[in-house]
Homo-oligomer: A and B are copies of this chain.
Amino acid sequence: MANPPRPLWRLTATEILPLLHSGQVTVTDYAKSLLERIQARNHVKAWVWLPPSLILHQAKALDDIPTDERTMLYGLPIGIKDIILTKDMPTQYNSRNYESEDPINADASCILTLRANQALIFGKTTTTEFASTKQGGWHQNLTSNVHDQSRTPGGSSSGSAAAVADFQVPVALGTQTGGSIVRPASYNGCYGFKPTHGAISREGIAQWCPTLDTCGFFARTVEDLELLSNAFRILDDEPVPSHPFDLRTAKIGFCNSYNWSKAGPGTVGAMAKARDLLRRHGAQIEEVELPNDFARVLDWHAIVLAGEGQTSFLGRYLAAQSLLHESIKGYVENHKHVRHADLLAAYDGVARLRPIFDNIAVGYDVIITPSVIDEAPVGLEDTGDMSMCSTWTILHVPAINIPGFAGAHGMPIGLTAVTARYRDRHLLHAAKAIGEVFEGEGGWKASNL
């Protein structure tokens, strides 16, 4: 007996694209299916701006493109974190100072790339205020975790992670300054990819820390992340082998990192299980001890947040101080008393460690490390702890959350794979094979919902 057909909203980007390209499914029908899914899952509140008439209007325009003029991301709906400028939708930054529903009439550079590839900009997803607070601003933190309404989806790319994990859209854009892609991906149970720092233009994206801010993607499969990486021309110097990554010849590092004392039972368990699973699949597993200097990286990360926050938020502070979150005011008023000398020590210290880490990392196919301290905590008012991610963000290396494990309350827990800078495609290549093992045998699947 044949299974009933899967609803369109269940498909991944890689699954739907050939159907759209060939015209077997119209962009309009696919968009309608997603809109229905979103309506049925309204309580997740992943979106701050979702204009059905505009979406269907644009879907229709895409349907009118002749088959032979359809390009890489033809008809692909994508959620956009609401700190990224979209000329036809407002950008509100979850800020009381940006309540206007008039769009800022310019596209961020990354949106230009998506539109040129015929993607369908679907709507704006929730964020914390200017992607820099743990608490919300204007809207507070609207979004709930996809798997438990009482728990946080993580932040600051809350809505993008939730929308993708909840099958409301196949892919979404997020940004990471500390752990704002990897953490919500882990909390909601999907893939979240932060490429090498600088791999995607940040023009038109709210600035917090130029040294850290990185645009990246959410998806439910690694193939979908590869698809977006193709569109953004994220390529390694050495091409990835065309055959699948083979765990039996793999050498995989495990790095507990300097925050290991914070790790809860969910993360401790996931790391142990991951070691065991990968070993059983034939991989050589080796513990990675970072040199002592790396113990300072977390402090340096905090200094950069504060030091660059002071500059980045000055204009908004002077324009409308009373409308800003306390933590943002704190940056401008330098409540942490960060001196330029501290900031320079952080810059120069971590710059010295970047090539050292790269040299360590190229000794492994990937290094596995925690994504979060544990499963998503209860309560929406705090989006959780970024500290497991910050080291990789400030080292500028590509990082991906791979789902596959569950915590004590059955909530998803992912692990992060990292490698050296600009080995993004090698990372994705390995993550695909590792994800199959984690999702297959770790106790939790991205398609569980």
Expressed in whole angstroms, the Cα–Cα distance for A391 and B250 within the complex equals 43
A336-351 interface mask toward B, CB cutoff 8 Å, 1 = contact, 0 = none?
0001110110011001
- The residue among A199, A352, A355, A358 with the most chain B CB atoms within 10 A of its own CB is A355
Given A112-B316, A315-B112, decide whether A207 and B198 contact each other with a Cβ distance below 8 A. no
- Say yes or no for A172: interface residue by CB 8 A criterion: no
Expressed in whole angstroms, the Cα–Cα distance for A109 and B110 within the complex equals 20
Expressed in whole angstroms, the Cα–Cα distance for A358 and B343 within the complex equals 14
- Say yes or no for A104: interface residue by CB 8 A criterion: yes
Q: Would you call A422 and B340 a contact (CB within 8 A)?
A: yes
- Say yes or no for A49: interface residue by CB 8 A criterion: no
B-binding segment of A1-9, A121-129, A306-314, A382-390 = A306-314
Given A201-B311, A351-B351, A421-B340, decide whether A318 and B112 contact each other with a Cβ distance below 8 A. yes
Q: Taking the nearest CB of chain B, how far is it from the CB of A112, in angstroms? A: 3
A82-117 interface mask toward B, CB cutoff 8 Å, 1 = contact, 0 = none?
000100000000000000001011111111110111
Interface residues of A in 158-213 (CB under 8 A from B): 196, 198-203, 206-207, 210-211
Expressed in whole angstroms, the Cα–Cα distance for A210 and B201 within the complex equals 9
Least CB separation from A332: chain B residue? B233
Expressed in whole angstroms, the Cα–Cα distance for A55 and B429 within the complex equals 56
Please tell me which one of the listed residues B319, B341, B358 contacts residue A344 in the complex, with CB atoms under 8 A apart: B358
Q: Would you call A318 and B117 a contact (CB within 8 A)?
A: yes
- Say yes or no for A236: interface residue by CB 8 A criterion: yes
Q: Would you call B236 and A210 a contact (CB within 8 A)?
A: no
Least CB separation from A85: chain B residue? B106
Q: Would you call A113 and B355 a contact (CB within 8 A)?
A: no
Copies per assembly: 2
Q: Would you call A201 and B237 a contact (CB within 8 A)?
A: no
Q: Would you call A110 and B203 a contact (CB within 8 A)?
A: no
Chain B residues with CB under 8 A of A206: 203
- Say yes or no for A354: interface residue by CB 8 A criterion: yes
Least CB separation from A340: chain B residue? B422
Chain B residues with CB under 8 A of A210: 198, 202, 210
Expressed in whole angstroms, the Cα–Cα distance for A134 and B211 within the complex equals 28
- Say yes or no for A258: interface residue by CB 8 A criterion: no
Expressed in whole angstroms, the Cα–Cα distance for A421 and B348 within the complex equals 12
Given A116-B319, A312-B201, decide whether A344 and B355 contact each other with a Cβ distance below 8 A. yes
- Say yes or no for A138: interface residue by CB 8 A criterion: no
Expressed in whole angstroms, the Cα–Cα distance for A105 and B347 within the complex equals 34
Please tell me which one of the listed residues B107, B236, B318, B351 contacts residue A116 in the complex, with CB atoms under 8 A apart: B318
Binding site for B on A (CB under 8 A): 85, 102, 104-113, 115-117, 196, 198-203, 206-207, 210-211, 232-233, 236-237, 308, 311-312, 314-316, 318-319, 339-341, 343-344, 347-348, 351-352, 354-355, 358, 421-422
Can you spell out 26 A-B residue pairs with CB atoms less than 8 angstroms apart? A102-B105, A105-B105, A107-B315, A108-B315, A109-B315, A111-B315, A113-B314, A116-B315, A116-B319, A196-B340, A201-B311, A201-B315, A202-B210, A203-B206, A203-B207, A210-B210, A233-B314, A237-B339, A237-B341, A340-B422, A343-B422, A344-B421, A344-B422, A348-B351, A351-B352, A351-B354
